[in-house]
Structure 1
Amino acid sequence: MIKREIIPYILEDWDLKKAIILLGPRQVGKTTLINELIKDKSVLKLNGDEPQTRIQLSNADFNFLKNLISDYDVVFIDEAQRIENIGLAIKMIIDAKLGKQIIVTGSSSLDLGNKINEPLTGRKWEHKLFPLSWREIRNEYTFANAIGRLEEFIIYGMYPEVVTSTQKRKVLLQLSGSYLYKDILELVNIKMPDLLIKLLNALALQLGNEVSYNELAKILGVDRLTVVNYIDLLEKAFVIFRLHPYSTNQRNEITSKPKIYFYDNGIRNAIIGQFSPLKSRNDIGALFENFIISEKYKRLSYDGFYGKMHYWRNTQQAEIDFLEIQENKINVYEIKYSPKVKVNFTKSFTEKYHPENQFVVNSENFWEHL
């Protein structure tokens, strides 16, 4: 098992008075990670993908739950988003102070947030696990090896099975199929599943560009609200995430259109069926930008970042690729694959916002920022 950076933070939150919630996409290693943490403990494992488990836990009373877990120190509930009323069941166990550590994983925050958050207010520690990060791969395979595989990561992404597989395309095509958004299709009443596929393809082709919900609606032949709702579902299923424009209500700044990135480059490339080498591609800039910004997202999440992430552009088309803002301090990043590209940070931004640091990230120095 590749050692995950999140492990110390989970162990730090080992607390019999609270549940540990681990969220993230399917196949990023949540179950493997938890099994490693609890391998020497007395554990009751329950899987929400199993119909019998869903039946048992959906409307369980306290006496049943108490007897069910009585012989174990740890209760591990996998794929909990598929179990109705799971938050109430966990709340009963925690409030009874039975001295059991509850661990819950979910491959989406679709319904898990609603089922867990309200019942478990003040009773949970929540973490997110993503595809492998650059730092995790570097630590596992050495810096020299990881640097030599940069193009591979940009094209095939960093899902654990993909990184370790010799059949990367096959694994990715399986992952990028309905399995990736299984929870959306099964847990939410999707009226137009084909639209979900078309929307993902459109978003993949617009990688790195501002996204207009109205334009997507016209392309797909649906209303704007449907597009917004489907993008929200894809974000909750950890397929994509939005980067919103930074604005202090200045009239010449773009304030409405987000950029949409994929958590994993390989998933994006599988959706459009494009695994060509970088030298023959016309989307290398967008791919490198997605790689860096998704890695920054992982890095900041694992490091406990509590600020905001944005991009910036004004109506004169001056742009900053990535901003991280915390406690009124702004770090800005321009992302260019080629180290030969000369970058000048626009004065219309720097003179107005006075960033703390300005970085140019390219294929030769990216590792310094991750």
Structure 2
Amino acid sequence: MEFKRQKYMDALVERMHNGMIKVVTGIRRSGKSYLLFNLFVRYLMQQGTAMDHILTMQLDRWDMRRYRDPDMLLSWIHERMTDEGDYYILLDEVQFLDHFEEVLNSLLYESHVDVYVTGSNSKFLSNDILTAFRGRGDEIHVYPLVFSEFMEQYDGDMYHGWADYATYGGLPQVASMKTEQQKITYLQSLFKETYLKDILERHKLKYPEGMEDLVNVLASSIGTLMNPTKILATFQSRFHSKLSLNTIRQYIDFLEEAFLIQKAVRYDVKGRKYIDTPVKYYFEDVGLRNARLDFRQVEETHLMENIIYNELRCRGYLVDVGVVNRRILDEESGRMLSRQLEVDFIASLGNKRYYIQSAFHLPDEEKLRQEKASLLALSDGFKKIILVKDVMRPRRGDDGILIMSVFDFLLYPHGLDEVFA
């Protein structure tokens, strides 16, 4: 089973010969290597590039470990560049290469070289590393399959597809598996033996059980406002843990660096300012999140919110949690009170902005009123949308709020302007 990953292929092709290092990042098993070493190599060959002008190296392989030495790798590359034609250098898991930023920068001095690398740890894209690239690093972040990509190869209708996707997520390998038991075993093993093991070994953590407990807390709390102090209180009451506040903050950073989780920061819409804490955490892949909890907490309400967040991020939007302060009349006291309302997502891209609520179901007028409350408190002219799981025709009320099915949103990757018009 092969997924086209067209969005990422287009991004690679658009960046060819731009004089920059194309850095393909993403969580392990998201399909970075297949994208670069299969789909992109195939494209180059279809365009007439000779195979001996495509130099590939997978640095995470044990039998290739000698090429983690910069001089060995550079010698290997230069020995194979025998003419003045264009050469494409593709390096997998480049964080294994010693002094990789200096090596990559040195390759840019070759006028006929186009460089592409992958990496699974965001630490090598820190500000210091980007400075070392001298502004010549160009990132392409690869997400697990979004729902529209997942459905390209799914053998069934979108309702069964949604059930599988919300349960097992979008890692390409998982989507190719035939049985539920295969998927469950693979995801559980992958989380523990690959993702967590990577973090524990890379950072030499003294309290590995504390990291495991933290992952469980975050997995149980997707879409919930959290901060390290609140997490610390949970640790002390539930686990009787001795982890410090600073250690919890550090462990969260490690999870973000490994692309396992992402955070959405709160934004005061009327005050036009960010609120540092608390924040919401979402998992890069909902299947991994479910696996961490042994598939015991598969609540579609929260999973739908996580899936919407990932979809927006994949489409390139900056995604915040909206906060709106509104004064309301307290019927008992007769006084005006300040009330803080929440917009699930503020999606921004350039001069575009969308306010989005994830409502799952709208069974009655009271629920509809609740979901609209924060959107109606916004006075600007940006589009306001409520996404529901129900299959329905999009409808816009007199208040200008659009209500539409999450399936219409997910299955139209370019639809924010077209579908939401």
Deviation digits for residues 53-80 of structure 1 (CA, Å, limit 9, x no counterpart): 4543444289736534425922211111
Deviation digits for residues 163-201 of structure 1 (CA, Å, limit 9, x no counterpart): 121221112112221302444233333232222111100
1:366 matched to 2:378 = no
Identical aligned residues as a percent: 24
Q: Secondary structure at 2:165's aligned position in 1? A: helix
For residue 201 of structure 2, the aligned residue among 162, 186, 199 is 186
Q: Secondary structure at 1:360's aligned position in 2? A: strand
Q: Secondary structure at 2:193's aligned position in 1? A: coil
Contact 2:123 2:257 in 1 (8 A): yes
For residue 67 of structure 2, the aligned residue among 56, 63, 78 is 56
Deviation digits for residues 87-133 of structure 1 (CA, Å, limit 9, x no counterpart): 11111111132x12211001121235468523323323210001101
Note closer, same or farther for the CA distance 1:192–1:86 as it changes in structure 2 (3 Å cut): same
Q: Secondary structure at 1:318's aligned position in 2? A: strand
Using CA pairs under 8 Å that are at least 6 residues apart, name the structure with larger relative contact order, 1 or 2: 1
1:225 matched to 2:246 = yes
Note closer, same or farther for the CA distance 1:308–1:28 as it changes in structure 2 (3 Å cut): closer
Contact 1:335 1:360 in 2 (8 A): yes
**By how many angstroms is 1:210 displaced?**
0.4
Partner of 1:197: 212
Partner of 1:343: 368
Amino acid at match of 1:206: S
Task: Give the Cα separation in 1 of the matches to 2:99 and 2:132.
Answer: 9
Q: Secondary structure at 1:168's aligned position in 2? A: helix
Instruction: Tell me the TM-score normalised to structure 2 length.
Output: 0.76
Deviation digits for residues 236-257 of structure 1 (CA, Å, limit 9, x no counterpart): 1110000111126859x96520
1:216 matched to 2:231 = yes
Note closer, same or farther for the CA distance 1:45–1:271 as it changes in structure 2 (3 Å cut): same
Task: Give the Cα separation in 1 of the matches to 2:131 and 2:69.
Answer: 16
Note closer, same or farther for the CA distance 1:348–1:70 as it changes in structure 2 (3 Å cut): closer
Partner of 1:38: 41
Deviation digits for residues 321-360 of structure 1 (CA, Å, limit 9, x no counterpart): 1111345653111112224253235556644552511111
Comparing 11-20 with 60-69, which one deviates more in the overlay?
60-69
For residue 187 of structure 2, the aligned residue among 172, 175, 186 is 172
Instruction: Tell me the TM-score normalised to structure 1 length.
Output: 0.86
Amino acid at match of 1:191: K
**Number of aligned positions between the proteins:** 358
Structure of larger gyration radius: 2
Partner of 2:27: 25
RMSD: 2.9
Contact 2:59 2:68 in 1 (8 A): no
Note closer, same or farther for the CA distance 1:248–1:361 as it changes in structure 2 (3 Å cut): closer
Comparing 104-113 with 346-355, which one deviates more in the overlay?
346-355
**By how many angstroms is 1:224 displaced?**
1.7
Structure 2 unmatched ranges of 5 or more: 46-50, 236-240, 326-337, 391-404, 411-421
For residue 320 of structure 1, the aligned residue among 339, 343, 367 is 343
Partner of 1:162: 174
Comparing 289-298 with 198-207, which one deviates more in the overlay?
289-298
State how 1:1-370 maps to structure 2 within 5 Å.
1-4=2-5, 5-15=7-17, 17-36=19-38, 37-39=40-42, 40=45, 41-42=51-52, 43-51=54-62, 53-60=64-71, 64=75, 67-71=78-82, 73-97=87-111, 99-113=112-126, 116-141=129-154, 145-165=157-177, 166=179, 167-218=182-233, 219=235, 220-247=241-268, 250=271, 256-274=277-295, 283-298=299-314, 300-301=315-316, 305=317, 307-312=318-323, 316-327=339-350, 329-340=352-363, 342-344=367-369, 345=371, 350-364=376-390, 365-370=405-410
Whichever structure has more strand as a proportion of its residues is 2
